[in-house]
Amino acid sequence: MSEARRRARSALVAPPPPRPKDPLPPTGRAGRNLPAAIGVGVGLLVVVAGSLFVPYAFVALVIVACGAALWELARAVGQGGIRIPLLPLWVGTVGILVSAATAGPEAMLVAFTLTGGGVFVWRVLDGGGRAAVRDAAAGVFAAAYVPYLAGFAVLLLQQTYGVWLVVTFIVVTVSNDIGGYAAGIFFGKHPMAPSISPKKSWEGFAGSLILAAALGALLVGLLPVGAWWHGALLGVAVVGAATTGDLAESLLKRDLGLKDMGSLLPGHGGIMDRLDSLLISAPVCYVILSATTGQLAV
């Protein structure tokens, strides 16, 4: 096999790790470029909101976001010598999310299982040994962490009141970040996990709980079914899940020596830096909102 063909094939298994960059000087009290972060955040919300009213546009948007997130994740873990097979993951992402949109949770699980098998076969055929098993296991984790968890948001959209349920999921999850950011800036004094994420504080956590519970109660209370306290419970559960997701990604980035997973979104970092809390919160919102509206299959 020629050197050019070998490099091309390797690029389909995993992209090269990111080049080290000098950190940008902080532009705000929390180290963010606040105007850029607000502008990008508003732009993303507009795109997502518009996609909810166009058949399958939301699914296509989630597929693109997951594909970019997998690319960033592969580049990040590549710094530790792990080669995630990207091509079968991208194909599997389409299968998982389209299955969720057209055939429900059982089909989504089948598509995930096939993706995991495809990742193992692809990596073993690319070269055996202990590294192949390690890389394939990392690929299966990536499939579970990104497209499979994202599939729960797609499942929500297919339900009765689907658009409102997805709006509730996004608003409550984003309010976790906003409440924590604002409370942490003005009142943060007691670090929550200084060895993992020094900027997270217990005061910020309290701010997240208050805002997420309040908005959850408001949004769920506007549904024809359910009660406001279901929304408050949703807010508390989302904050717990989102905080866990944030800390898990912070631990991964710290272990890899990265500040952000990427740089595609000015003021935010990478796609994965925005998706971490949403991905972990998606199944939580799916279970609670489906139970609230009487659509949870048991």
Please tell me the predicted confidence (pLDDT) of residue 160: 93
**Residue 29: is its pLDDT beyond 90?**
no
- Residue 119 backbone phi and psi in degrees, to 5: -65, -45
What is residue 8's predicted lDDT score, i.e. its pLDDT?
A: 53
Own/partner long-range contacts of 185-191 (Cβ < 8 Å, ≥24 apart):
185/29, 185/30
| Per-residue pLDDT at 24 | 42
Query: If you write DSSP's letter for every residue of 132-157 in order, what string do you get?
Result: HHHHHHHHHHHHIIIIIHHHHHHHHH
- Residue 26: pLDDT above 50? no
pLDDT in tens, 122-160: 998 887 777 899 999 999 999 999 999 999 999 999 999
Residue type at 10 in one-letter notation: S
pLDDT level of residue 21 (50, 70, 90 thresholds)? very low
Better-predicted residue by pLDDT, 222 or 1: 222
Average confidence (pLDDT) over 208-233: 94
DSSP track, 32-69 = S-HHHHHHHHHHHHHHHHHHTTSTTHHHHHHHHHHHHH
Average pLDDT over residues 268-292: 88
Residue 124 CA, distance from chain mean position: 28
Helix, coil or strand: residue 192: strand
Q: What is the mean pLDDT of the chain?
A: 85
CA 165 to chain CA centroid, nearest Å = 18
Mean pLDDT of 172-184: 91
pLDDT reported for residue 270: 74
On the question of pLDDT at 199 being above 90, the answer is no
**Which tokens in the block code for residue 215?**
């908005």
Mean pLDDT (whole number) for 261-276: 68
**Which of 78-82, 93-97, 124-128, 194-198 tops mean pLDDT?**
93-97
Please report which confidence band the pLDDT of residue 77 belongs to, taking 50, 70 and 90 as the band edges.
confident
* Predicted confidence band of residue 260 (pLDDT cuts 50, 70, 90): low
Q: For residue 6, what pLDDT is reported? A: 56
CA–centroid distance for 259 within its chain: 17
**Shortest CA distance to 70 belongs to which of 152, 158, 148, 185?**
148
Confidence band of 9 (pLDDT split at 50, 70, 90): low
The pLDDT of residue 31 is above 80: no
Give the whole-number percent of the chain exceeding pLDDT 70. 83
Residue boundaries of the structural domains of the chain: 32-292
Tell me if 61 sits within 8 A of 51, measured CB to CB. Answer: yes
Give the chain's radius of gyration (CA, Å): 20
